[in-house]
Structure 1
Amino acid sequence: MEQPKHLAVESIRGFACFMVVLSHLSLIFFPYLHSFGGKTDPAINPFQSFIHESPLGFFYSGTSAVFIFFVLSGYILTKVAIKNNNSKKIISMTIKRYPRLMVPALASCILAYFAFQLFELPSALLPDYGDFSSSLIGAIYSGVIDVFFLSGQSLYNPVLWTMKIELIGSFIIFFLCFNKIKIKLPYLPALFIITTPLLVIFKIINPDLGLGIFSFVIGYLFCIHGRMINKKLSFTLFFIGLYLAGAHNESLSYLPIISILGNMTYKLCNFASGFFIVYAIIFNKEFNTLLSGNLGVFMGKVSFSVYLIHMPILATLGVFTFNIFFDYFNQYAVAAILSSIVSILSTYTASLLFYKAVDLQGVKFSNFIGNSVTPITLKLSKLIKNRITAKI
C-alpha cells in the first residue's frame, strides 16, 4: 500500500535518535537508570531507583530506538524502491547503499580519533587495533571495512555496531522489492520471517543481526500491507510500545513478563516496541499531524549525524565539562545535569555542520557511484542473459 510522504517519519527518527543520546548520557552519569550491573539502593539513589522500577524508561531506551530505526528503514526503503515499479531503480539503490552509509561512518571514526588526541584521554580508554592501535589508519579501516564486513564493531565509535545490520537489512529489503516487481516468488517475506529465528537458534547469525533483519522485514510488510487505523487503536498500540520500551530485566513493573522471558525481557521487549510505535504513528492521521512540526522534522533531518557523532562528543567534551562543573559546584547531580545539557546542545550544533559537510556530501557521492555503476551493471547483466539464452 503506497502512503503519502509523512513528515512524522522524520520526527520518529529524530526523537528516537534523541532517546539514544539520553541512553548514553544515563549510562555515563546515571547508570542505575539502566541497572545493567545490578540494582541501586533506593535509600542512596531514590530517583534512579524509582525510574528503573517504573515503566518510564522508554524516554532513554536506546535499544528500543535502534529497533525503531530498523523498522523505519525497512518501511522507507520499501516505499522508495517499489515506487513506479522500476527494477532499475532498485539496482541503483542497492549499489548506492554502502557508500551512502560508509562516508558518514568513516568521517565519524576520523572525528573520534582526533577527539581522542585533542582531549588526551588515558591510554586505557583508547581503542586498540593491534598494528593500527589508536591510529588514523585504524580509524579509516574501522569506518570503511570493519564495521560493515568483518566484526561489525568499532572501538573508535561504538554506535557503529548497527551499520552492518543496516547494510544487510537494506540488501534484504532491495531483494524483497526486486522480487515483488520482477521475480514474483510467492511468500518470500514469510520465508525470511521463519528462517531468521532459526538461524539465530542454530547460532549461524548472532541475535542482534537476527532481530535487526526481522525488524527490516516487518518494516517491509508494514509498507506493503499497512492500513490506516483510528485514534483509539493507534494510541493503544503506541502506549503498549512505550511500555515495552521501558523494560529492564529486574524492573518491578515487568515482573509478569520477566517470569516468562527471564533475562531476555530487556532485549525482546525493546525489540517488539519498535513495531508498535512505528505502526501506531505512521498509520494514524492524528499522530501524523502531531509529529509534523518543525522541531521534530529538524531533529529527523540531522538524526543520522547526531547518531554518528554524539559518542565522541560525550566521551570527550561531556567528561571534560563534568569535571569543570564538579570542581565548581562540588555536587555530582548538578555537574552531571549541566554537563548533559552542554553535551546535547554541542551535539546538535555539531550535527548540523556534520550534516552539511559530510552527510549531504555522502549522498552526492553515493548518487555518483550509483549513476556511474548502474548502467555498467545493467549492460553486463543483459549481456550475460543474452549469452545464456543463446546457449539454450
Structure 2
Amino acid sequence: MQSFEGLRGIMAIAVLNCHAKVLFPVLVETSIWKAFLYTPFSMFVSGGFGVSYFFVLSSFGLWLNNYEKDWRLIVAGYVKRYFRLIPTLVMSDFVAFVLIRNGFYYLTPGYFDDTGMIKFNIFMSNSRTVLGMLKDSMWDVFVYGKSNYVAPFWTMKLEMLGGIIAIGILFIIRNRTYKYKIITLLFAGLIIAFYGNGYYYSTLAGIILYETLGYISLRKMHRRKKYSKYWFCVTLMIFWMIVMWAVMPMNQKVNYANLCGIAWALLMAYLFFDQNSIMCKFLESSPLKILGKLSFQIYGLHWGIICSIGCFLVNRGYDIQIGGGIMIYLIVVAVTIILAYAIWQINDVIQRNLIDRMFAHLGKNIGRRINNYAEQ
C-alpha cells in the first residue's frame, strides 16, 4: 500500500503544476502545449487528475481502516478527521492572510502590458481579519466549498461529504450479501449521475476498490474468485463510464474529468496485484513517500506561494528566457515543500498531543447511538 502514498505525492505536485500554469501564459497558448494536453503525460499538469485520486484514496482508506470496527470508533474517526484537517487549513490560510495584508499577494490570471510582458495586479485588502480567516478555514470551506484565501480548498466540502457517503454506504451494506452490495452501489452511482457532483464517482470507485481488492486480501479468498471479482470491478466501472457519458448533457456537474477516479482505481488495482513491479518500487521510493506525507500541506500552501513569490518574480521579468521560467517554477516548488514540511511537523504535534486525546470521546458518544441502532 505504500505505493499509494507515493502516487499521492506525485498528484500533489500535479495539482501544483496545474496552478503554476498561470505564470506562463505564453507557453499555454502555443500549439505544442495544446498538443501535449492530449497525451497521457498531461496528467502531471492536471488538477482534476490529482483531486480525483485524492477522493479515491480517501474513501478506500475509510473502508480499509473501518470495515471491521465498531460504529463508535468509526464515527470517532470521522469526527477526528475534521479536526485533523483544521491545523493545516488554518496555517495555510494564515500564510495567505499575511501575504495579502502586506501587499505581497497577486491576482491571477495576469495581463500583458504595452511591452508584451505578463504582469499581475497586487491584491490588497485591509478588510481581511484574523477572525474572518479562521471562519474561512474552519467553516466556509466545509459549508460553502470556497475559500477567500486558498482557492483549491473548494474541495474540502466534497471531501467531507464524500466521507459521509462512504460511511453511509458502509453502514448500509456491511455484512450484507454480495448481491445486496452490487445493487446498492449501482443505485448510488445512478443517483450521482443524475443529481450529484461527478467527483463522487471517485468516492464510489474507492469503495469498489476495497470491496474487490482489500476485502479479498483480508478474507484470504480463493485465487480464482479473487480474479473474478477483479473483472467485476472493471466491468462495473466501465458501466459507470457509459452511464456518465449518457447523463452528462443533463447534469453539468458530471464531466469527462470525473472519469479520472475510475481510471485511478483500476491503476491502484494493478499496483495491489503486482506489488513487485518496477512501478511499485518507484512509487515506494523515499522521496515520493515523503511527498505523499506532505501532500495535503503542499495542496494547501502552493496557491499562496504561486500568487506571491511566483507572480512577484514574473513581474520583475525573470521569466523572459525559458531558463528563468524554469527557475521560478523550481523556487515555487522548493519553498512550498519546505513550508509544507514545517506545517506537517506542527500538525503532527497538535494531532498527537491534542486532537487524538480530546475529540475521540466526542465521536464515541455520537457513535454509541448509531451502534445501538445498527445492532437492532
TM-score (structure 1 length as normaliser): 0.72
Shift of 1:140: 1.3
- Equivalent residues in 2 for 1:1-392 (5 A)? 6-30=1-25, 33=28, 40=29, 45=30, 47-83=32-68, 85-121=69-105, 126=123, 133-149=127-143, 151-181=144-174, 187=180, 190-199=183-192, 201-202=194-195, 205=196, 210-226=197-213, 266-285=256-275, 286=277, 287-324=279-316, 326=317, 331-362=320-351, 364-377=353-366
User: For residues 218 and 116 of structure 1, what CA distance do their matches in structure 2 show?
Assistant: 39
Q: Deviations over 1:257-282 (max 9, x none)?
A: x9x98998652443443233333323
Q: Which amino acid aligns with 2:18?
A: S
1:211 aligned counterpart, secondary structure: coil
Judged with a 3 Å threshold, the aligned counterparts in structure 2 of structure 1 residues 366 and 191 are, in CA distance, closer, same or farther, namely: farther
Of all paired residues, the percent bearing the same amino acid is 18
Change (3 A) 1:137 1:291: same
> Which secondary structure state, in structure 1, belongs to the residue aligned with residue 102 of structure 2?
helix
SS of the aligned residue for 1:154 comes to coil
Cα–Cα, structure 1 residues 127 and 55, in superposed 2: closer, same or farther, change >3 Å?
Answer: farther
Q: Give the AA of the match of 1:214.
A: Y
Distance in structure 2 (CA, Å) of the matches to 1:54 and 1:380: 51
Distance in 2 (CA, whole Å) between partners of 1:161 and 1:283 is 34
Deviation at 1:196, TM superposition (A): 4.8
Contact 1:32 1:49 in 2 (8 A): no
> Does the C-alpha gap of structure 1 residues 338 and 47 become closer, same or farther in structure 2, counting only changes over 3 Å?
farther
* Distance in 1 (alpha carbons) for counterparts of 2:255 and 2:293: 32
**Within 1, Cα distance between the matches of 2:35 and 2:357?**
52
TM-score between both structures, scaled by the size of structure 2: 0.75
Gaps of 5+ in 2: 108-120, 218-222, 232-244
Residue 27 to residue 349, structure 1, CA distance change in 2 (3 Å):
same
Deviates more, 1:214-223 or 1:345-354: 214-223
Match of 1:187, SS? helix
Amino acid of the structure 2 residue aligned with 1:295: P
Compared CA separation, residues 196 and 153, structure 1 to 2 (3 A)? farther
* Structure 1: 5+ residue stretches without partners: 1-5, 34-39, 238-257
How far has the Cα of 1:303 moved from its partner?
0.8
Q: 1:109 corresponds to which letter in structure 2? A: D
Q: Which has the higher contact order (CA 8 A, sep 6+)?
A: 2
- Larger displacement relative to structure 2 (211-220 or 11-20): 211-220
1:75-102 Cα distance to aligned partner (Å, 9 max, x none): 111111124x433321211221221223
**Deviation for aligned residue 1:380:** 5.8
> Which 10-residue stretch deviates more, 169-178 or 46-55?
46-55
**For residues 298 and 106 of structure 2, what CA distance do their matches in structure 1 show?**
25
Superposed displacement of residue 213, structure 1 = 2.1
* Inter-partner Cα distance in structure 1 for 2:19 and 2:297: 16
Q: CA deviation at 1:289?
A: 3.1
Rate the CA distance shift 1:72–1:333 in 2: closer, same or farther, 3 A. Answer: same
In the alignment, the residues of structure 2 paired with residue 375 and residue 345 of structure 1 have an alpha-carbon distance, to the nearest angstrom, of: 41
Query: Do the aligned partners of 1:64 and 1:271 also contact (CA within 8 Å) in 2?
Result: yes
In structure 2, the partner of 1:252 is none
SS in 2 for 1:156: coil
Distance 2:154 2:124 in 1: 15
1:63 Cα deviation after fit: 0.7
Cα displacement (A) at 1:116: 1.7
| Preserved CA contact (<8 Å) 1:147 1:153 | yes
Distance in structure 1 (CA, Å) of the matches to 2:288 and 2:296:
14
CA root-mean-square deviation: 3.6
2:236 alignment counterpart = none
Aligned residues: 330
Deviation at 1:119, TM superposition (A): 4.0
Show the counterpart of 1:37: none
Counterpart of 2:80, as a letter, is: K
Q: In 2, Cα distance between the equivalents of 1:322 and 1:302? A: 27
SS of equivalent residue, structure 1 residue 374:
helix
CA contact (8 A) 1:119 1:316 kept: no
The residue type equivalent to 1:317 in the other structure is I
Match of residue 253 from structure 1: none
